[in-house]
Amino acid sequence: MIHDSFEDFAAALAPMSALMGLDLGDKTIGVAVSDRMRGVASPLETVRRKKFTLDAARLLEIAADREIGGILLGLPKNMDGTEGPRCQSTRAFARNLSRLTDLPIGFWDERLSTVAAEKALLEADTTRKRRGEVIDHVAAGYILQGALDRLRFL
């Protein structure tokens, strides 16, 4: 089920279950997962997008393997807080994914998550080639960590 409110998403989560954060791009999907205590987000992998059924199958395989209790998608709002075409695409992906799983699906404002990930990788002196390989799942980690930090106060 899709939850537009983060508080509703949090209420729908089973206790002691890990979360999966997604950074949806046109060509890739960055994936990060949390621990069961929901304290730390760890970048996991970048899924190269092919077609929805294949992408969803890989994501649900990860969810099953990691015993994920909820999926959080980064919502790419404009800097002024409005929702544009990329948000519509993310919401459509969530609707399609919700038809394939009973896991709660929520959204997290992802503004500047890729910028923060890029900055962290630059500070770590990561090569340009390596940054290109990992930026999406590192950004997913930033998205998920932001949500995990918020969960502590609910």
**pLDDT tens, 108-119?**
988 655 656 566
Say if 1 falls within a structural domain.
Answer: no
Say if 15 falls within a structural domain.
Answer: yes
81 is in which domain, residue-wise? 6-152
- Phi, psi dihedrals of residue 137, rounded to the nearest 5°: -80, -25
Measured CA to CA, the distance from residue 30 to residue 24 in angstroms comes to 7
Mean pLDDT of 128-143: 71
Return all residues near 124 (Cβ < 8 A) that are at least 6 apart: none
Return all residues near 98 (Cβ < 8 A) that are at least 6 apart: 1, 2, 105
Per-residue pLDDT at 4: 93
Q: Work out the pLDDT band at 84, boundaries 50, 70, 90.
A: confident
Per-residue pLDDT at 9: 97
Mean pLDDT of 50-68: 97
Q: Work out the pLDDT band at 71, boundaries 50, 70, 90.
A: very high
- Phi, psi dihedrals of residue 136, rounded to the nearest 5°: -70, -45
Per-residue pLDDT at 51: 96
Mean pLDDT of 80-88: 86
Say if 13 falls within a structural domain.
Answer: yes
- Tell whether the model's pLDDT for residue 53 goes beyond 80: yes
Mean pLDDT of 7-17: 96
Measured CA to CA, the distance from residue 63 to residue 18 in angstroms comes to 9
Burial of 60 (0-12, 13-18, 19+ CB in 10 A): middle
Say if 112 falls within a structural domain.
Answer: yes
Residue 111's domain is classified under what CATH number?
3.30.420.140
Judge whether 93 and 24 are in contact, CB under 8 Å: yes
Q: Work out the pLDDT band at 6, boundaries 50, 70, 90.
A: very high
Say if 68 falls within a structural domain.
Answer: yes
Domain count for the chain, please give it.
1
